[in-house]
Amino acid sequence: MADAVSLKNKGNDAFKQKDWPGAIEYYTKAIELNEQEPSFFTNRAQANIKLEAYGYAIADASKAIEIDPNFAKAYYRRAVANTAILKHGDAIHDWKAVVRKNPADKVAKAQYEACQKMVKRDAFLKAIEIADAPSAAEGLDLESMVVEDTYDGVRLKDEMTQEFVNDMIERFKNGKKLHRKYVFQIILAVKNLVYEEATMVETIVAPEHKLTVCGDTHGQYFDLLEIFRLNGFPSEKHGYLFNGDFVDRGSWSTEIALLLYAYKMMYPKFFFLNRGNHETDDMNRMYGFEGECKAKYNERVFKLFSESFSALPLATLIGDKYLTLHGGLFSDDAITLDDIRKLNRHNQRQPGQAGLMMEMLWTDPQTMPGRGPSKRGVGLQFGPDVTKRFCEKNGLEAVIRSHEVRMEGYEVEHDGRCITVFSAPKYCDSTENKGAYINIESDYKLQFNKFDAVPHPDIKPMAYANNGMMSMM
């Protein structure tokens, strides 16, 4: 027991240093020495929550409850993890248990009440859901919308200009907003552009050209600008592919979305956007983007963004060599690139809990062969053998995906056939990770580049999330 406690303490030290993988390693070693101490499991659950491995956190908390059914912290951890993956119906039972065991805990009581509201909200939204709801653009008359003389920014006409983009970058750096007419104009233009693109966009890198692949940016606007500063701004010879999760968590999500959309307007054939699991309504309601849109602009802006997100392609094939998609591979070996090509994403606005779209947005690699349950509690995990078969069957060199923090900003796995790239350094101001991006030239060799986070104004992540529960994550 003394050795186990020593390992747990080392795990606590790693946790304080925000080294979540290191903390998990120590807690796991402690558990191997003593499997009957519930606090080892709840500590590991909290580290898994920090890594967004909510499925693992739920399993750890459940084990702690099995050992000690009266351990309130275990119910607390499981409630937080279930809330994070939007399983509010499961979370509410655990919050109730925490309140029952610790009736004086005001924080737990507030979380329980917030969860009750979310359960009611989810039921209400489901009840009023309309299959073919009218577009938020209906009745929006941009022609008659006046930009006041007092507006101090560059004017936008029919086409995006470098002058407008430069002004937008500076406005956002200084905490200013775009005029709402221009916000509507940009979102509508990009919605129409991406709607006409294939579910899997196919592109090549021409001689003397370069394509940069970026992973999650999650509302970290100043770190996005650092990518452009280090690597060059988009142009007709320097294309970019942003591989989903532009928004949520970080508190400059509207700024990132609008800047990426402006570049898509300016370079529609050289600037690409894949959908991520956070370009979805339920995640946007939980993790801040909906609240940010309403706070900085209005609800209609969020609804238009939502429509544009559902129109985004789900994958990009680069030079017939690299399939780039946000999450990863599939539950069925029979799936091919042709199945992605044939997928009509416009028939299903949100990814749901099963199916091809959900798997493209949510799955993760694992080190073990075969397939396994998701550490997130959503989707599944796929092993190196799954990746090898998929790449060989489809003539690919590798799959490039994002969706997960990597401490060095990227990781090459599965014998070089699965590459993760993540472009939000010091993620949520709480993880000491680097960011990364990948440059690809006409020889199709992958050039990995790492970068550090840069300072930003003192606005915390999740500043616009609509419930206090997020502070527990």
Active site residues: 278
Cα–Cα distance measured from residue 360 to residue 336, given in angstroms and rounded to the nearest whole number: 12
Contacts of 134 (CB under 8 A, 6+ apart): none
Could you tell me if 403 and 245 are in contact, meaning their C-beta atoms sit under 8 angstroms apart?
A: yes
Cα–Cα distance measured from residue 281 to residue 337, given in angstroms and rounded to the nearest whole number: 27
At position 120, the amino acid (one-letter code) is K
Could you tell me if 249 and 49 are in contact, meaning their C-beta atoms sit under 8 angstroms apart?
A: no
Contacts of 457 (CB under 8 A, 6+ apart): 175
- CA 343-347-350 angle, to 5 degrees, is 95
Q: Token pair for residue 354? A: 């099963």
| 380-382: strand order across its sheet | 364-365, 380-382, 371-373
At position 459, the amino acid (one-letter code) is I
Q: Token pair for residue 371? A: 């397939």
